[in-house]
Structure 1
Amino acid sequence: MTTSEPLRLINQEFVDLNGFQYDENDDDVFETKTRRTLEEIAVKKKIEEINDAMSHLKEFGKVERSLKIRNHLIAYEPVEISVFLKRFLLTQLIPLISVVLIGIWQIFLFGLVVLLWIWEALIYPHKDEIIEKILFVCLVLISWFWELLNAPLYIKSTITKNECICAPVQKRPSYSQDPDATITVEEWRLHGVQSPIELKHDETNEYDDFDPLLFHGHWDNEGEAMIVNNGYTATITFQNRALPQLIGGPLHNDKFVFEQLHFHWSDDDHSGCEHIFEGKAYSMEAHAVHYNSKYGSFKDAVSQHDGLAVVAFFLQATDDFENACFKKLSEAVKDIVKIEASTQVKADCFTWIKDAAQCKGYYTYQGSLTTQPYNESVTWIIYPKPIHVSREQVQNFRNMHSTPCGQYNIDNNVRPIQVPNKKLDIFYARSHRASTVF
Structure 2
Amino acid sequence: MSDLVTRAQITLLSRTLHVPEEQLGHLERLGAAHLHELQERLAKVIFDQHTAIFSRLSLLVPIIPLTISMPIVQRMVPPVMAGRAAGAIGVDHPRKAAEAVGMLDPAYAAAAAPYMDPHSVGQLADIAPVKPVMRIINELLKRGDYVTAGPFLAYATPELVHAVETDVHDDEGLIRSASYSYSGENISVIVRHLLAGEGRRMPKLVRTILSGSKELRLAALSVFSRCDLDVIEAIGDILFDLGSADEIGDLVATFLAGDAVSETLRFVAHLSPSALDLLAANSILAEPESIDALAAAVSESTEPAVWRGLLELIERAEPSIARRVGAAISHFDSATLTQLPTVASTGHLWPPLLKVLAVAEPDAQSRVGELWSALPVLERNEIEQRIADLALGDQLSTLTATLQLTQ
TM-score by length of 2: 0.23
- Bigger Rg over Cα: 1
Choose between structure 1 and 2 for higher RCO, CA contacts under 8 A separated by at least 6 residues: 1
Give the structure with the higher percent helix. Answer: 2
TM-score by length of 1: 0.22
